Amino acid sequence: MGGSIIFAGCSFTWGQGLWSYCPTDLKVPTVDEYIEDNHPVPEVAEFFRIDNRFAGLVSKRFDARQIVKRYNGGTDEESLRFIKEVENNWVTDHSLLTTNVAWDTVKYIIFQTTQPYRSPFTFHYKGKEYQVFSTPNLRNLERVQEVVHHGEEDARTYSYIEHDNIDIFLDYLIDNNISVEDFEKIHLEFMTNEIKKTLKHYEETHNIKTLLLVWTDEYLHNFLNDEWCNERLVRLNYNNKIFNSIQELFREDNKFEILNDDETIHESGTDGHPSLKCHRVIADSLIQKMTDINEKQDNLNNE
């Protein structure tokens, strides 16, 4: 296949913690040390992370270049911006994209969803645009910022005004008769539509194939009940069982034990990110899905 594959996702796509599996005599930090004390990861272990995350494994199988965000973690909203940065070939010291990519080489976009409520919720109130931020579990609303637009639409830039409290958002809910439960549903539907709209645009306008890889279950109901999304949903195949999300895979046997087989999730035993084996399970499932799609396309071209 060749070309490039965009892998848009959070720390699961980035390969958080995979360095701890690197066979080296150098000091490799445990996950706890890396997070709490900012221990540096040796270069050889960083290369191991990049090569052995599912993005690296899939790209190697198809002789393609893996395109992954610069930063560990992130939101679905950020992943959508990342795809746009790749399209615009926008590389700066602070961009999500690290190296130049020729857009006409992109063959696939693999979108790995993260927790939907990590993404800000945009709302309009009394003629102004705002964003509200919450904790990933939506139990706490943390802050509100006003979005200020500058310039024309085709060259627009933004600045933000932080607010000391969330009163504006609460007034918006009250004035629009929206309950907290309604807000949760609206937010989820908004992010679902943004993801679908973006991926569908790249398929129809740029002839790029797209796939959905789901981490947590919040999106599943919407994706499974949408014919377009359902067709692009990557099912994970492990031990002759099919899982619709990475979270389902984790839950199979006391959360993480399904992946153990004498292999812990990470050396510290406390990290909830996919293990080396889990990345291989994800990669195998992606490779099978992409192989089926490519073969189907080849058959159509040969008819």
Tokens linked to 301: 């071209």
User: What's the mean pLDDT in 262-273?
Assistant: 69
Residues 132 and 172 in one domain: yes
Residues 87 and 167 in one domain: no
Instruction: Check whether 84 has a pLDDT greater than 80.
Output: yes
User: Taking CA 102 as the corner, what is the angle to CA 302 and CA 47, rounded to the nearest 5 degrees?
Assistant: 100
Residues 164 and 87 in one domain: no
Residues 158 and 285 in one domain: no
What pLDDT is stored for residue 252 in this prediction? Answer: 75
Residues 201 and 275 in one domain: yes
Q: Are strands 65-68 and 4-8 parallel, antiparallel or unpaired?
A: parallel
| From 3-7, 116-120, 215-219, 256-260, the region with the lowest mean pLDDT | 256-260
DSSP one-letter code for 42 = P
With respect to residue 184, please indicate whether it lies within any of the assigned structural domains: no
Residues 105 and 195 in one domain: yes
- Coil, strand or helix at 201: helix
Number of domains in the chain: 2
Instruction: Check whether 261 has a pLDDT greater than 80.
Output: no
What pLDDT is stored for residue 258 in this prediction? Answer: 54
What pLDDT is stored for residue 253 in this prediction? Answer: 57
Residues 66 and 157 in one domain: no
Instruction: Check whether 233 has a pLDDT greater than 90.
Output: yes
What pLDDT is stored for residue 6 in this prediction? Answer: 98
Alpha-carbon distance of 109 to 294, in angstroms, equals 14
Give long-range contacts, CB 8 A cutoff, 24+ apart: 27-33.
Answer: 30/266, 30/267, 30/268, 31/266, 31/267, 31/268, 31/270, 31/271, 31/273, 32/268, 32/270, 32/271, 33/268
With respect to residue 144, please indicate whether it lies within any of the assigned structural domains: yes
DSSP H/E element including 32: helix 31-37
User: What's the mean pLDDT in 235-244?
Assistant: 92
CB neighbours of 32 closer than 8 A, spacing ≥ 6? 268, 270, 271
Helix, strand, coil: what percent of the chain each, to 5? Answer: 45, 20, 35
Is residue 87 packed enough to be buried (19+ CB in 10 Å), middle (13-18) or exposed (0-12)?
A: middle
With respect to residue 183, please indicate whether it lies within any of the assigned structural domains: no
CB atoms within 10 A of CB 287: 16
What pLDDT is stored for residue 39 in this prediction? Answer: 78
Alpha-carbon distance of 67 to 86, in angstroms, equals 9
CB atoms within 10 A of CB 289: 19
Instruction: Check whether 225 has a pLDDT greater than 60.
Output: yes
CATH number assigned to the domain comprising residue 36: 3.40.50
Instruction: Check whether 72 has a pLDDT greater than 70.
Output: yes
User: Taking CA 64 as the corner, what is the angle to CA 61 and CA 236, rounded to the nearest 5 degrees?
Assistant: 50
Please tell me the pTM assigned to this model.
Answer: 0.89
Pick from 178, 198, 224: which residue ends a domain? 178
Instruction: Check whether 303 has a pLDDT greater than 70.
Output: no
With respect to residue 185, please indicate whether it lies within any of the assigned structural domains: no
Alpha-carbon distance of 121 to 187, in angstroms, equals 6
Q: Which residue has the higher pLDDT, 135 or 252?
A: 135
Owning domain of residue 15: 4-115+190-302
Residues 223 and 98 in one domain: yes
Alpha-carbon distance of 77 to 193, in angstroms, equals 12
What pLDDT is stored for residue 37 in this prediction? Answer: 66
User: What's the mean pLDDT in 126-132?
Assistant: 92
Question: Percent of the chain beyond pLDDT 90?
Answer: 59
The pLDDT tens digits of the residues spanning 16-70 come to 989 989 999 988 888 777 776 677 889 999 999 999 999 999 999 999 999 999 9
Alpha-carbon distance of 133 to 67, in angstroms, equals 28
Instruction: Check whether 174 has a pLDDT greater than 90.
Output: yes
Residues 107 and 125 in one domain: no
Instruction: Check whether 149 has a pLDDT greater than 70.
Output: yes
Tokens linked to 87: 């399209």
Alpha-carbon distance of 191 to 293, in angstroms, equals 26
Q: Are strands 241-243 and 4-8 parallel, antiparallel or unpaired?
A: unpaired
User: What's the mean pLDDT in 81-87?
Assistant: 94
What pLDDT is stored for residue 85 in this prediction? Answer: 93
Residues 79 and 137 in one domain: no
What pLDDT is stored for residue 260 in this prediction? Answer: 55
Alpha-carbon distance of 70 to 81, in angstroms, equals 13
pLDDT band at residue 142 under the 50/70/90 scheme: confident
Find residue 108's DSSP bridge partners: 5, 209
